[in-house]
């Protein structure tokens, strides 16, 4: 698209996988829009680094420090090679003031993020790893891509471990257990959830089991 090319010429930069765009707590000087590749938004809790979100083409980040004049609320690192638009605060403000559609998209995205943060809090209150993995997959599947087999969540065990702050083994064990119960199918692209209603019931069953025990 010609418009996108012009934007890239003006604001675009290429970054290699592993490049740290900024760290949590630093002052924020610009916001970013992903044109290609993936970016991990990370937060350090004690000594473990947790991935809050993985953002892809069309998504933006780094706007909070500009809007609220506070230090970066999380870190950002390139998860893949990619192209980003790097936008300074004055241009960002001019874009919002000059285009209601951009402002509305921003508000919708911030609302989605708040909802996801609420889901993460709910997730952290669950105790056993299987419940936490099912809860996370259920929330992700609701936003997932439709495939003939069901909703696809494009995350593997390793990415799930980064997102959930659980060990890789705990995630893998939980995935095997859930797959055995036929609630999910493990496929090369990630995890397929054939039936969201059945998964919701399975989560309720796991919670009951946790509360009342096996007997
Ligand atoms: P800022 O605080 O400037 O720097 C970190 C950025 O990460 C923040 O702006 C948001 O754009 C983004 N961010 C923070 N928390 C989340 C989250 N839970 N999900 C997705 N993006 C987030």
pLDDT in tens, 55-104: 999 999 999 999 999 999 999 999 999 999 999 999 999 999 999 999 99
Ligand 1 centroid to Cα of residue 42, in Å, is: 9
Q: Please name the fold of domain 2-123.
A: Jelly Rolls (2.60.120)
| Residue list, ligand 1 pocket, CB within 6 Å | 28, 41, 52-53, 61-65, 72-74, 76, 113, 117
Q: b/e string for 168-197 if b means 16 or more Cβ within 10 A?
A: eebbbbbbebbeeeebbeeeeebbbbeeee
Half-sphere exposure of 73 (CA within 13 A, CB side): 13
Nearest in space to 133 (alpha carbons), one of 159, 105, 103, 107: 159
CATH of 126-212, one of 3.30.70.1060, 3.30.70.2190, 1.20.1280.50, 1.10.10.10: 1.10.10.10
- Residue boundaries of the structural domains of the chain: 2-123, 126-212
Interval 163-205: pLDDT, tens: 888 888 999 999 999 999 999 999 999 999 999 999 999 999 9
Residue 32: how many CB atoms within 10 A of its CB?
A: 22
Residue whose CA lies nearest to ligand 1 atom number 20:
53
Mutate which of 23, 38, 54, 64 for ligand 1 pocket (most atoms within 8 A of beta carbon): 64
Q: Quote the pTM value.
A: 0.80
pLDDT exceeds 70 at position 2: no
> What separation in Å is there between the alpha carbon of 15 and the centre of ligand 1?
19
109: left (phi over 0), alpha (psi -120 to 50) or beta: alpha
Phi, psi of 27 (to 5 degrees): -70, 150
User: What's the 60 CA to ligand 1 centre distance in angstroms?
Assistant: 9
Which of 50, 74, 75, 119 should be mutated for ligand 1, with most atoms under 8 A from CB? 74
pLDDT score recorded for residue 158: 79
Task: Compute the distance between CA of residue 55 and CA of residue 100 in angstroms, rounded to an integer.
Answer: 23
Could you give the angle at the alpha carbon of 146 between the alpha carbons of 119 and 132, nearest 5°? 30
Q: What is the pLDDT of residue 42?
A: 94
pLDDT tens sequence across 114-142? 999 999 899 988 988 999 999 999 999 99
> For position 3, what pLDDT does the model report?
64
At residue 135, the pLDDT reads 96
Expressed in angstroms and rounded, the spacing between residue 64 Cα and the centre of ligand 1 is 7
Least confident of 19-33, 174-188, 199-213: 199-213
- CA of 65 relative to ligand 1 center, distance in Å: 9
CA-nearest residue, atom 5 of ligand 1: 74
Measuring from atom 9 of ligand 1, which residue has the nearest CA?
62
């Amino acid at each position: 698209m010609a418009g996108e090319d012009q934007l890239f010429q003006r604001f675009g930069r290429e970054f290699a996988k592993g490049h740290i765009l900024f760290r949590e707590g630093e002052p924020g000087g610009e916001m970013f829009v992903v044109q290609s590749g993936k970016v991990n938004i990370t937060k350090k809790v004690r000594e473990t680094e947790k991935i809050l979100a993985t953002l892809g083409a069309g998504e933006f980040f780094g706007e909070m420090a500009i809007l609220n004049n506070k230090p970066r609320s999380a870190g950002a690192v390139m998860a893949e090679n990619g192209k980003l638009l790097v936008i300074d605060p004055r241009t960002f403000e001019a874009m919002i003031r000059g285009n209601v559609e951009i402002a509305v998209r921003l508000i919708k995205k911030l609302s989605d993020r708040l909802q996801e943060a609420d889901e993460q809090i709910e997730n952290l209150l669950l105790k056993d790893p299987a419940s936490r993995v099912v809860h996370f997959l259920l929330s992700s599947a609701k936003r997932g891509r439709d495939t003939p087999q069901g909703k696809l969540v494009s995350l593997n065990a390793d990415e799930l471990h980064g997102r959930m702050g659980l060990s890789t083994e705990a995630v893998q064990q939980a995935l095997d257990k859930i797959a055995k119960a036929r609630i999910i199918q493990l496929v090369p692209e990630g995890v397929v959830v054939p039936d969201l209603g059945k998964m919701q019931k399975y989560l309720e069953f796991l919670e009951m089991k946790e509360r009342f025990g096996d007997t």
